[in-house]
């Protein structure tokens, strides 16, 4: 099953960001706002037999992570050259070093379960849209939203999510743990 670990912004921050983004651009396929999240680790296709160990290790990672506060801040694109954008994302601010440490723990949990994890550095972001076909020029969007700053919020939980791709992407939470809280 296709899995990833993630944290979520609160509903009021999702609504604020959706309003700031304004009308959708036709060249972009927007991620439904109810699916907006910050991926801390992407595991890909995980054998069912590995899931219990991953659940246990992620529970420990969440419990060892101290409470943190984040805020949505600024926008950018992948690749970095906004003239050839394929993804539009919103950045994060505040306790980013704590978030990075959580992401490192989530990746380590996957490696310890025998999963092949990407070796690239974690870049904290929330993906809001992807291009429909060819890369697009998003310089104007990036310039307009570069100073976007949401309110701070406490990160309350880490989730393990099953993602089903296809015509309609679906996300189902398999397990959730409190950040800095007891294992469960």
113-143 residue pLDDT tens: 999 998 888 999 999 999 988 999 999 999 9
pLDDT confidence band for 181 (50 / 70 / 90): low
pLDDT of residue 24: 85
Which sequence spans correspond to the domains of the chain?
Answer: 2-178
How many other β-carbons are positioned within 10 Å of the β-carbon of residue 31? 18
pTM listed for this prediction: 0.92
Q: What is the CATH number of domain 2-178?
A: 3.90.1140.10
pLDDT of residue 167: 72
* CA angle (142, 148, 156) in 5-degree steps: 120
Question: Which of the pair, 118 or 53, is modelled with greater confidence?
Answer: 53
Sheet with 153-155, strands from edge to edge, namely 28-30, 125-131, 87-94, 68-78, 153-155
When the pLDDT of each residue in the chain is averaged and rounded to a whole number, the result is 93
Q: pLDDT over 90 for what percent of the chain? A: 86
pLDDT of residue 10: 97
pLDDT confidence band for 184 (50 / 70 / 90): very low
């Amino acid at each position: 099953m296709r899995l990833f670990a993630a944290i979520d912004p609160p509903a009021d921050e999702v609504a604020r960001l959706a309003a700031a983004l304004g009308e959708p651009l036709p060249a972009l396929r927007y991620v439904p706002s109810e699916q907006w999240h910050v991926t801390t680790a992407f595991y890909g296709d995980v054998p069912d037999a590995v899931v219990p160990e991953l659940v246990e290790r992620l529970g420990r990672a969440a419990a060892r992570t101290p409470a943190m506060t984040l805020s949505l801040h600024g926008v950018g694109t992948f690749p970095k050259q906004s003239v050839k954008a394929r993804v539009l994302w919103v950045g994060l601010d505040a306790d980013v070093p704590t978030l990075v440490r959580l992401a490192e723990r989530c990746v380590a949990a996957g490696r310890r379960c025998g999963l092949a994890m990407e070796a690239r550095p974690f870049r904290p972001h929330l993906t809001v849209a992807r291009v429909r076909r060819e890369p697009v020029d998003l310089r104007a969007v990036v310039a307009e939203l570069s100073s976007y700053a949401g309110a701070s919020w406490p990160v309350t939980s880490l989730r393990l999510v099953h993602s089903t791709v296809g015509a309609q992407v679906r996300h189902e939470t398999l397990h959730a743990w409190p950040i800095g809280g007891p294992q469960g």
